[in-house]
Amino acid sequence: MALRRKLIVGNWKMNGNLAALAELAPIAEAARAAAGVDVAVCPPFTLIAPAVARANGIAIGAQDVHAAASGAHTGCVSAAMLKEVHAQLVIVGHSERRAEQQESDAAVCAKAQAALAEGFQTIVCVGESAAEREAGRAVEVVSGQLAGSLPEEAHEGELVVAYEPIWAIGTGKVAIPADVAEMHAAIRAALVQRFGERGTRIRILYGGSVKADNAAELMRVPDVDGALVGGASLTAAQFVPIVEAAHG
């Protein structure tokens, strides 16, 4: 079995301001104490540069990126632009973007390719809806998203997969450990089938209402290599216990 460090990533979504960056200091302190755990925070684009200045050992990333290097794409940001402000990772394909911006698997794949080519750690999100799970199609749907969203070559960056069941994001509902284990095992099998030995080294995160009181249980599930955390990442009081749970 490949030895994979735990990775805990906070996704602030469209939340936060300059004052909120004060939360980074205690998060960074916890990250330094949690040997063997990588910690990152992805604030809104406007906060990336000032967050980098206060990161003090944690990685700062972006919540999206455009596939093109430049051009007439109003409101979008390229991988090179993110690199210039010293972001270190990028999230692509989050279900909220797939739904609100109608992003297809092909679009997500192109974004991932652009981010990886610039050397970013790139988190590709996948996950099924409640209706798809109830119909018994969860593994089928996620496997299809993986096939369409993951680029063939990692280039300079590190590829990470985040499994976030859509019905668990921001709802307080969390997939039971048996369901998480089944899905992460299916994702791992798909990664190994596609990438060979490299597939054993790709980290798989769980996301969906991860909180202090369920993080330790989730971290014990096989092939759960960390978490992509939404609301609970907005304050150190809620995020630090998740980092500590990953440390074990």
Q: Which residue has the higher pLDDT, 1 or 229?
A: 229
pLDDT digits (tens, 9 = 90+) for 164-218: 999 888 888 878 999 999 999 999 999 999 999 999 999 999 998 899 999 999 9
136 belongs to a structural domain: yes
Q: How many domains does the chain have?
A: 1
102 belongs to a structural domain: yes
- pLDDT value, residue 173: 81
20 belongs to a structural domain: yes
1 belongs to a structural domain: no
243 belongs to a structural domain: no
Across the range 135-148, mean pLDDT stands at 96
pLDDT at 30 over 90: yes
pLDDT at 154 over 80: no
pLDDT at 241 over 50: yes
Domain housing 211: 6-68+77-87+95-235
pLDDT digits (tens, 9 = 90+) for 72-109: 999 999 999 999 999 999 999 999 999 999 999 999 99
178 belongs to a structural domain: yes
pLDDT at 1 over 60: no
Its pTM stands at 0.96
Task: Tell me which residue of 156, 142, 151, 147 sits closest to 206, measured CA to CA.
Answer: 142
pLDDT digits (tens, 9 = 90+) for 6-28: 999 999 999 999 999 999 999 99
List the CATH number of the domain containing 131.
Answer: 3.20.20.70
- pLDDT value, residue 2: 56
39 belongs to a structural domain: yes
**189 contacts: CB under 8 Å, gap ≥ 6:** none
Residue 124's beta-bridge partner residues? 92, 161
Q: Which residue has the higher pLDDT, 248 or 204?
A: 204
pLDDT at 240 over 70: yes
Q: How high does pLDDT run on average in the chain? A: 95
148 belongs to a structural domain: yes
Q: Please list the active-site residues.
A: 94, 164
Q: What percent of the chain has pLDDT over 90?
A: 90
